[in-house]
């Protein structure tokens, strides 16, 4: 019976972690929408603050659970900001980024820095959005935006990676996260 209680307690804690990460991601997306980076960068450029939570979630939970969080975050932000095109761009960017970061953690958790994984995630997020835009507008010329967006992805990936580098050790000190940090 104690084992059943422990399993149900762990499942509940995992659900709470996913919900917290999704909620914080949505809040970070709202904060990001207030910051006028688009005026200084190429069209579609964003800070990618919500990726702080995606990468952090990948360090604590299995890919399947992180994917749930990514989908929740994307759906909730689409309802808040929402048009179909913004949802399409957001989901494609989120999925490209998620898959890339998950794969890099899977094959190189001990070999790659958090910063490098985050930078690749930022670049892949932009690639996913450009692919979505090319599909949506039926225009391959949109790929001309990718090089400046890639530079933006590198810069924002560095910032996200630095934030995650400090966030993970802080969260591991909280009892909610005890026993959840993924090992290679």
| pTM score, whole prediction | 0.89
The Cα-based distances of 65 to 16, 44, 169, 171 in angstroms read 11, 28, 20, 17
Nearest to 18 by CA among 69, 56, 71, 59: 69
Cβ atoms of 125 and 48 within 8 Å: the answer is yes
Per-residue pLDDT at 81 exceeds 90: no
Q: Which residues contact 33 (CB under 8 A, 6 or more apart)?
A: 81
Task: Tell me the chain's radius of gyration from C-alpha atoms.
Answer: 17
Per-residue pLDDT at 66 exceeds 90: yes
Q: Which of 78-82, 122-126, 180-184 has the lowest mean pLDDT?
A: 180-184
Q: What is the pLDDT of residue 184?
A: 45
Q: What is the pLDDT of residue 2?
A: 59
Query: What does the pLDDT average to over 70-85?
Result: 88
């Amino acid at each position: 019976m104690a084992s059943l209680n422990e399993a149900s307690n762990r499942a509940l804690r995992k659900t709470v972690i996913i919900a917290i990460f999704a909620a914080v991601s949505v809040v970070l997306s709202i904060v990001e929408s207030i910051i006028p980076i688009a005026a200084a960068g190429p069209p579609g450029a964003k800070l990618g603050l919500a990726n702080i939570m995606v990468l952090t979630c990948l360090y604590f939970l299995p890919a399947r659970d992180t994917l749930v969080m990514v989908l929740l975050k994307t759906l909730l932000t689409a309802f808040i900001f929402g048009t179909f095109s913004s949802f399409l761009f957001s989901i494609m960017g989120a999925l490209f980024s998620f898959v890339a970061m998950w794969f890099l953690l899977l094959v190189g958790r001990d070999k790659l820095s958090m910063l490098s994984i985050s930078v690749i995630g930022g670049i892949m997020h932009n690639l996913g959005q450009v692919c979505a835009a090319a599909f949506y507008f039926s225009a391959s010329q949109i790929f001309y935006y990718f090089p400046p967006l890639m530079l933006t992805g590198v810069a924002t990936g560095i910032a996200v990676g630095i934030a995650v580098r400090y966030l993970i050790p802080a969260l591991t000190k909280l009892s909610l996260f005890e026993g959840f940090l993924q090992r290679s």
